[in-house]
Amino acid sequence: MVKRVYNFYAGPATLPFSVIEKASKNVLEFNNLGISILEISHRAIEFDKVIKEAQKDIKEIMNLDDNYHVLFLQGGASLQFHMIPLNLMLESKPALYVNTGAWSKKAIKESKIIDENNTKVVASSEDKNFTYIPKEIPCDSSASYLHITTNNTIYGTEYHFFPDTGDVPLVADMSSDILNRNLDFKKFALIYAGAQKNLGPAGTTLVIIRDDLVKRTENKKLPTLLNYKTHVEKDSLFNTPSVFAVYVVHLVLKWIKDEMGGLKNVEKLNRKKAELLYSTIDDMSDFYRGTAEKDSRSLMNVTFRLPSEELEKRFVEKAAERDLIGLKGHRSVGGIRASIYNAFPYEGVEKLVEFMRDFRKNS
């Protein structure tokens, strides 16, 4: 037996234990081939099957048609901050951004590197320290695209509505809430997510791109590896992908389909976990204070404060003694952050809530 603690880290993050068990067997020997998944060629027919199945499962789970391409790239979500404006920005058609926190800011910075004058921030929640998602998001019909960050990992806010952008492509960084609920994914022209929060281990980045956007690269002279067209044409096998990470993502997708029974059930469980935690915070509002505005609260990263930084420090230490680890807020904002991604078990939230009651009583 393996000892498991409750892992509240924001990323890399907790994975379904059944996935870890399967992966560990295949680290020893993959599919009775006499070699490990760590040793297999990315050109081997068995790996081809893995990546193709993952692409198919993504489309099935998200209900996307064949006009979308599913890519597994490297460089993290952070490289997408640059690849998106590099590939998709059109001359004198502004790239629009909503600034909802640190990750949005990094995306905006990269767009400004491509063309400062053609990058426009159309809405922001910086006036209230990123505690909410702006309600009014103007979208100029002549824009190249509109970029949003659907879940703000550091500030604990999440979109619960999406702007209507008409014909303007909607581009979304879903790194920390990908596949956490059932959405109309066809609303989006490009979705990207580093795998390490809700999809698998670190090392691969999911990019889902609609076909018409790939065509925008045709008149551009781009570095080969930074051109979406390269990866679409070679089906994510232009160069060696992160074989093991893609393999584990493929297992997580099977887990969503077969063990969880699809996105609707994933969403139900995520809502149940978040409700238990937020209602506990609100019930003890003399001691715990949620940092995000109620209608913008994240299902994935629950952020809150205690009466003092000293108490927060003790809270994190005492929680760890009960096998509740990774509760320290991001270093840029402080406080407490409980990341409760898809694979985080309900019992772990119950344990945290019990601890929160005890801690308040004893403080």
* Residue pair 42/243 in contact by the 8 Å Cβ criterion: yes
Element (H, E) at 99: strand 95-99
CA atoms of 291 and 335, how far apart (whole Å): 9
Closest CA to 8 of 352, 359, 354, 360: 352
Smallest gap from residue 132 Cβ to ligand PLP (A): 16
Smallest gap from residue 11 Cβ to ligand PLP (A): 5
Tokens, residue 73: 């790239």
| Residue carrying structure tokens 């990908």 | 178
Tokens, residue 243: 């074989």
Task: Spell out the long-range contacts of 280-289 with Cβ–Cβ below 8 A and sequence spacing 24 or more.
Answer: 280/353, 280/356, 280/357, 281/356, 284/356, 284/357, 284/360, 287/360, 287/363, 288/356, 288/360
Q: Does residue 173 have an active-site annotation?
A: yes
Smallest gap from residue 153 Cβ to ligand PLP (A): 4
Query: Closest CB to ligand PLP among 156 and 194?
Result: 194
Query: Closest CB to ligand PLP among 99 and 153?
Result: 153
User: Which residues contact residue 295 at a Cβ distance below 8 angstroms, ignoring those fewer than 6 apart?
Assistant: 132, 160
Tokens, residue 212: 């018409």
Smallest gap from residue 282 Cβ to ligand PLP (A): 25
* Residue pair 148/163 in contact by the 8 Å Cβ criterion: yes
Closest CA to 254 of 39, 30, 50: 50
Chain residues binding ligand PLP by CB under 6 A are: 11, 76-78, 103, 149, 153, 173, 175-176, 194, 197
Catalytic residue (choose from 57, 177, 197, 273):
197
Query: Closest CB to ligand PLP among 119 and 280?
Result: 119
Smallest gap from residue 46 Cβ to ligand PLP (A): 27
Catalytic residue (choose from 57, 103, 177, 255):
103
Query: Closest CB to ligand PLP among 247 and 341?
Result: 341
* Residue pair 189/171 in contact by the 8 Å Cβ criterion: yes
Q: Does residue 197 have an active-site annotation?
A: yes
Query: Closest CB to ligand PLP among 81 and 315?
Result: 81
Q: Does residue 212 have an active-site annotation?
A: no
Smallest gap from residue 335 Cβ to ligand PLP (A): 17
* Residue pair 163/137 in contact by the 8 Å Cβ criterion: yes
Query: Closest CB to ligand PLP among 40 and 174?
Result: 174
Closest CA to 210 of 145, 256, 294: 145
> For the chain, how big is the Rg over CA atoms in Å?
21
Smallest gap from residue 94 Cβ to ligand PLP (A): 22
Query: Closest CB to ligand PLP among 203 and 287?
Result: 203
The DSSP symbol for 160 reads S
Tokens, residue 137: 């998001």
Which residues are the active-site residues? 103, 173, 197
